[in-house]
Chain A
């Protein structure tokens, strides 16, 4: 009879979590506990102890081999690992624990390093710091180098120094708060960010996807995958590829294929047929919370919980079942054509809750396939990293210097 880990733990009088730690050599198991576990499992105590010892010898060898890679001098005597463990179990345990900690920290360092080079908030904030420092350095040099400076210029430079030092201190504080959040959040990436990385790398099978580290991310990915499969059953790859070659207008595509527009939008963003290779997709629920973000190059996406209230996605919530076409322009001047639409459903019964979902298909502006629109909507990433100072939709101050008016 096979026993579940939880049953074994309960029968031995310990928690399943503690048993898990023992199994992975993260906690010691005393002789009495090994006897109890052996009883529950119906095996001799010696067999359990032997298995644990073999695992510890293997871990010790691994730790010694890792250490040998980064240091000079005599190599560790790997063939004497068993003897070392038997003679100095405490030292051996400490060595194994340190090796595991080093491995975990190295992994975290790689994650943080990735985040440093890809995180739009960090990149923007660091750019802001450098801009303020450049201005301070040039202005302070002018004042300290002497030479003729008219009084009105001297006053302006003093005022600029004051402005820039204030800006630098605000940005530095924001940066520290943000870096602190790495620790308080407990994980380097949120489940949604893990799912986004998984989608960006091509939707690998969930069990094999290195990007999906947390259980929450795996569960979220499974939900999305189920939806994508349902969509693909309703609108196959071949049909969509043929139709997409004819037009770039998703509404015309939906009409030609006799399928709903929201389905066409999702399928275009996931399949990315010719002509739509860089399509992106945002989906939010009725509260405006983003539940899917499939990024496209250059579209300013902040951290998952944040957004720009001017994205047409949110306008669509107020006009359900109506396709809204907008051209949007980012603070850096990148343009995108967007189609947004909200759908309302009442799933369970006539009295059940009405649920709203809005989608926005994002297509990078292509001058050969689309016209530059005078009424392009200025958007941003999220208020705190958006330089549009005069924006009517601003809900919190930006840490960035405003765009010149």
Chain B
């Protein structure tokens, strides 16, 4: 489905949990310009509750977050009893390379720094 058309349905496409405000701002701009509906959460604390509440089609999750790590949030998501929620695709952003903690539970791991086009293509693959 065309992302623009999906946007019209008011379903949240992407929940991005990223504590670096400038990275989050740049990524949200790129993805919103591509037509995806994006919401932001800046802290590890409350991350899983936000996923439950928004039920996004994709979670972009930073690994190193304050108060609760991305790996912990991911483990908790995968253990959800609501299987549809537990299977939410997760794109893990990490500065620690492909072998990062939590990498095996993510659908894909993107090592920082990455090209904007690489992120856009990955998001397209995961959502289309």
Chain A contact residues, CB within 8 Å of chain B: 126-127, 130-131, 133-139, 141-142, 145, 147-148, 153, 156-157, 160, 163-164, 329, 331-333, 387, 401, 403-404
Contact = CB atoms under 8 A, between A and B. Distances in A.
B98 interface: no
Interface stretch (B7-15, B20-28, B77-85): B20-28
Given A134-B113, A137-B115, 4 more contacts: A137-B116, A156-B25, A333-B69, A401-B20
A138 B33 CA distance: 14
30 contacts: A127-B64, A130-B95, A130-B112, A131-B95, A131-B112, A133-B113, A134-B95, A135-B26, A137-B113, A137-B115, A137-B116, A138-B26, A139-B22, A141-B116, A142-B26, A142-B30, A157-B29, A160-B22, A160-B25, A163-B22, A164-B22, A329-B67, A331-B66, A333-B44, A333-B65, A333-B67, A333-B68, A403-B19, A404-B42, A404-B43
Nearest to B43: A404
Contacts of A130: 95, 112-113
Contacts of A147: 33
Given A156-B25, A160-B22, A134 B112 contact: yes
A-B complex: 8 closest residue pairs judged by Cβ atoms: A333-B67, A333-B68, A130-B95, A138-B26, A134-B113, A404-B42, A135-B22, A134-B112
B86 interface: no
Interface in B20-67: 20-23, 25-27, 29-30, 33, 42-45, 64-67
Contacts of A145: 116
A145 B65 CA distance: 30
Nearest to B26: A138
Given A139-B22, A142-B26, A333 B113 contact: no
Contacts of A153: 29
